[in-house]
Amino acid sequence: MNSKLISPMRRGLAFIITLCTLFGVGQVAAQSAADKYPEKAIKIVVPFPPGGSTDTLGRAIAQKLQEKWGQPVVVENRPGASTLIGSTAVAKAAPDGYTLIVSVSSHTTNPAMHSSMPFDTLKDFKAISMLARAPVLVVANPNFPANNIKELIELGKAGKIKLDYGSAGVGTMTHLTAELIKKQTGLELTHILYKGGTPAMMDVMSGHLALTFATLGQVQPQIKSGKLKALGISSDQRYASVSDIPTFKEQGLDVVTIEWFGLLAPAGTPSDIVAKLNAEVKQIMANPELGDRLASIELVSSTSEFLEQFIQSEVNRWTPVIKELNIKTN
């Protein structure tokens, strides 16, 4: 064969071999990175103060991950700005699986309330798994003169008491539930801003605030101990663990809402690390011991794809509602 033809063929073959070698090395490196994960401490951001449902859930997951993987898993509370402070920190973090966030409904309502956002809700995060669901309650101090929604409406229309209320923050499901009730009843409810549900709950118990809207996990112990009383719950049917509390629906209101909790990572987090986290979260959520500890919220899990689709659907669902209610922060 002509040597002039052999030389280009050899060079071409060598080039192909080099590409295959590099590609193979890259694959091995990626695989070994996922196999070795985690090699250092993981941080789970909770965008609320300590003590609420999101914090309790985040710490429970952190404990189980640490027990399984033998690496520190630290919860960092980053409250404020309707979860934007914590979410922004995670959106800008390295996409390596070592910074995660327990997100809630405000993740999908914030875009409709802010004229500008420090991140893109749909593009700057990678969904890992759904974690839990919980209904919203309106609760009051035991000495509050109303015991249900009907009495609350009568009290409000009489104008004898100022009906201020707290929530976990602007755009959270606790806030939106209150605003839906306000719209349907015509009550003059004034939203008092707090950095989380726990400070609002404490003010209700001390008598400094008339009402607060909170997830069941946050207020169930106080309801059981008699430090708070519930006027209604946002689930479609009565909730098993508090079956004596009537739903808003059975009290004549078309208000059914559920707070959700999901685990997210920065966009670009390797898919094999996401899959490893998803598999572990699925086991954690199915753990009966954890279910007993967190009986006031419904523990669930999902695929990454399901949570991504759910987040998109929630953005589509709540954007027109928020615009109709004219809820804005800036």
Where is 131: in which H helix or E strand? Answer: strand 125-140
Task: Note the CATH architecture for domain 40-133+260-325.
Answer: 3-Layer(aba) Sandwich (3.40)
What pLDDT is attached to residue 24? Answer: 53
Q: Is the pLDDT of residue 115 over 50?
A: yes
For residue 136, which of 50, 219, 192, 60 has the smallest C-alpha distance? 219
Cβ burial of 143 (10 Å; 0-12, 13-18, 19+) is exposed
Q: What pLDDT, on the 0 to 100 scale, is given for residue 10?
A: 55
DSSP states of 40-103 as a string?
A: S-EEEEESS-TTSHHHHHHHHHHHHHHHHH-S-EEEEE---GGGHHHHHHHHTS-SSSSEEEEE
Q: What is the pLDDT of residue 80?
A: 86
Burial of 54 (0-12, 13-18, 19+ CB in 10 A): buried
Q: Which pLDDT band, with edges at 50, 70 and 90, does 12 fall under?
A: low
pLDDT at 9 over 70: no
- Tell me, what's the pLDDT at 5? 45
Task: Determine the average pLDDT of the residues in 295-319.
Answer: 94
Domain with residues 135-251, CATH architecture: 3-Layer(aba) Sandwich (3.40)
> Rounded to whole angstroms, how far apart are CA atoms 177 and 113?
15
- Tell me if 40-133+260-325 shares its fold with 135-251: yes
Least confident of 129-143, 180-194, 298-312, 316-330: 316-330
Every domain of the chain and the residues it spans:
40-133+260-325, 135-251
Where do we find the tokens 């030389």?
Answer: 7
For tokens 């695989």, what's the residue?
31
pLDDT one-digit tens code per residue, 69-92: 999 999 999 998 889 999 999 999
pLDDT tens for residues 200-236? Answer: 999 999 999 999 999 998 899 999 999 999 999 999 9
What is the model's pLDDT at position 40?
A: 97
Span 5-15, mean pLDDT? 52
In this prediction, residues 276-290 reach a mean pLDDT of: 94
Which segment of 8-12, 204-208, 235-239, 271-275 scores lowest on mean pLDDT? 8-12
